[in-house]
Every structure is written in structure tokens, then in C-alpha cells.
Structure 1
Amino acid sequence: MDARSPEAPGGRALRDVAEDLFQELQEHFQALTATLNLRMEEMGGRIEDLQKNVNDLMAQAGIDSPAQKHRLEDRTVI
């Protein structure tokens, strides 16, 4: 008798356990994905804040930021 056939003793129970396990793993994976996405968005916001703070400090120190230099170079290349 084939172990995968529904008539096999314990075959249905084994399939049910496997399906439950798969469902549980899928739920954990979805929760992990949501958590990672949230943390990546938070990190992106922190990086943007840090970049703004660095640019502000450079402006206070009278130093051109790389972004400003790049914009100036684009204008003079015409």
C-alpha cells in the first residue's frame, strides 16, 4: 500500500500535521516579514534624519556638502 494514499493508516493524520506545521511556518514568516519591513522603514527615516543633521552641521561649519557640490558641478558642465 502506498504511504501517500488516503487509505494508509496514519496517512491522513500525518498530512494534517504537515499542513498545520506549514500553516504555522507561513504565519511566522509573514509576521517576521512585517517586522522586518517596519524596522527597515524606521531605519530609512533615521538615515534621512542623520543625513539632514550632517548637512546642517556642514552648512554651519561653512563646508559644502557632497550634494551641493554635485548640483554645482551639474550647472557648470553645460
Structure 2
Amino acid sequence: MDARTPEVPCGDLLQNAAENLLEEVEEHFQALTTTLNLRMEEMGSRIEDLQRNVDALMAQAGIQSSITEPS
């Protein structure tokens, strides 16, 4: 008699299904990460545009900005 774990019927099939599911989850996670990074970059761009517009409006109004833009 063998001391190893008993073989489960369809064990290989279950393991393959679990591995496939894990691969799918990893692919979806990578796609989500990529999408989030792109949206964060886009939001950063919009914030920079907004800051430039606010600075321009403040300059037109003769108000000096107390916030300096990092170089």
C-alpha cells in the first residue's frame, strides 16, 4: 500500500480547470490594472489642464497664485 495521498477520480481534470481559472483571473487582473493606469494618467492630465486654466483665470483677474507648480 502506498503512503501517498489517494488519487481522486478526475483529479487531473480538476487541477487543469483550477489552473485555467487562475490564468483567466490573472489575465483579467492585468487588463484591469492596465485600464486603471490609463485612466489615472488621463485624470492626471485633466487635473494639470484644470490647474493651468485656474492659473490663467487668476492671472486675468489680477490675483497671484499662492500655489506654485513643481518643476
Asked if TM exceeds 0.5, the reply is: yes
Identity %: 63
TM-score by length of 2: 0.84
Aligned to 1:57: 57
CA deviation map 1:36-60 (0-9, x unaligned): 0000000000000000000000000
The gaps in structure 2 that reach 5 residues or longer are none
Q: Please report how far the alpha carbon of residue 10 of structure 1 lies from its aligned counterpart in structure 2 after TM superposition.
A: 1.0
Residues 26-65 of structure 1 aligned to structure 2 (within 5 Å): 26-65=26-65
CA–CA separation in structure 2 for the residues paired with 1:38 and 1:24: 21
Q: Please report how far the alpha carbon of residue 18 of structure 1 lies from its aligned counterpart in structure 2 after TM superposition.
A: 0.2
TM-score by length of 1: 0.77
Q: Please report how far the alpha carbon of residue 9 of structure 1 lies from its aligned counterpart in structure 2 after TM superposition.
A: 1.2
Q: How many residues align?
A: 65
Q: Please report how far the alpha carbon of residue 67 of structure 1 lies from its aligned counterpart in structure 2 after TM superposition.
A: 2.3
**Hey, which bits of structure 1, 4+ residues long, moved more than 3 A?**
none
The gaps in structure 1 that reach 5 residues or longer are 69-78
Equivalent residue of 1:66, what SS? coil
Corresponding position: 1:11 with 2:14: no
CA–CA separation in structure 2 for the residues paired with 1:56 and 1:26: 45
